Structure 1
Amino acid sequence: MKALLVTGLLIITSPVLADTGHDHASSSSAASEAPAVARTIDIKAGSMWFDPDQLQVAPGTTVRFRIENVAMIPHEFSIGSASMQQHHREMMQQQGGHHGEGNQGDGHDNMMSSSVTIEPGATQTLIWTAPTHGDRIEYACFIPGHYEAGMKGTVMLTASP
């Protein structure tokens, strides 16, 4: 009976043990393709504001944004070019401001806009690589009414942040 129980447990758990979904090998191509984070930027999302609301980042730099929502309502942090932000804003308005919690890339990775939703009192992290061309990128909250109330900021792409 004991042997049968052990065998049953092994059969049930072996797929879980065999594939954790993570490749911890240092020679992993996925790990070698991920850009190294060069800088961490802390941002606070409050009642219709971001602090800071203006940043400087060197082109091509990979940044870790750590966004803390200090407000009593959910917020979003979306970063991308002006045209990508406009497209994201339109989609958020069509969807009533909901796209799911913590959606890095927001399902629009091909549009180079990345976003996360941050619940009140929570902190979310977003890894983003600055483009190598252009001079200005926008970040904003596109929950309906938030952008219009001034919840936005600018990243200036400069050689020395």
Structure 2
Amino acid sequence: MLRREMMLGTAGELTEHAQMMRAMPDMVHHDANAITVDAGHSGKLVWKFTRAEKFEFACLQPGHYEAGMTGTVTVK
């Protein structure tokens, strides 16, 4: 099992951070918009959406973003 990460952000922010994660693969996040969870563990990310919009999220562990571990949240 592999470490996972969830980060909310714009497409540009996610792409930029995915590049940073390739350079620093051991980086761990506990930010307001991101969480890293080790294999066999769980975590919680609580975010209050304040506007109607589509938001993107992704796992930015090296290779995961590129493999398609992304999605969107639509707030109406």
TM-score by length of 1: 0.43
The 1:83–1:129 alpha-carbon spacing in structure 2 relative to 1, beyond 3 Å, is farther
Q: Render the CA deviation track for 1:52-71: whole Å, top value 9, x for unaligned.
A: xxxxxxxxxxxxxxxxxxxx
CA distance in 2, matches of 1:86, 1:150: 12
* 1:152 is the counterpart of 2:49: no
Which protein is bigger by CA-based radius of gyration?
1
Q: Give the gaps of 5 or more residues in structure 2.
A: none
Pairwise mapping of residues 1-161 of structure 1 onto structure 2 (< 5 A)?
Answer: 72-95=1-24, 97-100=25-28, 103-105=29-31, 114-132=33-51, 135-158=53-76
Report how many residues are paired.
Answer: 76
Structure 1 counterpart of 2:23, which letter?
Answer: Q
How far apart are residue 139 of structure 1 and its match?
0.9
The SS at the match of 1:129 is coil
CA distance in 1, matches of 2:14, 2:49: 15
CA distance in 1, matches of 2:36, 2:19: 16
Q: Which protein is richer in helix relative to its size?
A: 1
Report the identity percentage. Answer: 33
CA RMSD for the aligned pairs? Answer: 1.7
The 1:88–1:131 alpha-carbon spacing in structure 2 relative to 1, beyond 3 Å, is farther
CA distance in 2, matches of 1:131, 1:98: 32
Q: Give the gaps of 5 or more residues in structure 1.
A: 1-71
Structure 1 counterpart of 2:49, which letter?
Answer: A
How far apart are residue 142 of structure 1 and its match?
0.9
How far apart are residue 90 of structure 1 and its match?
2.0
Structure 2 counterpart of 1:138, which letter?
Answer: E
Q: Render the CA deviation track for 1:14-49: whole Å, top value 9, x for unaligned.
A: xxxxxxxxxxxxxxxxxxxxxxxxxxxxxxxxxxxx
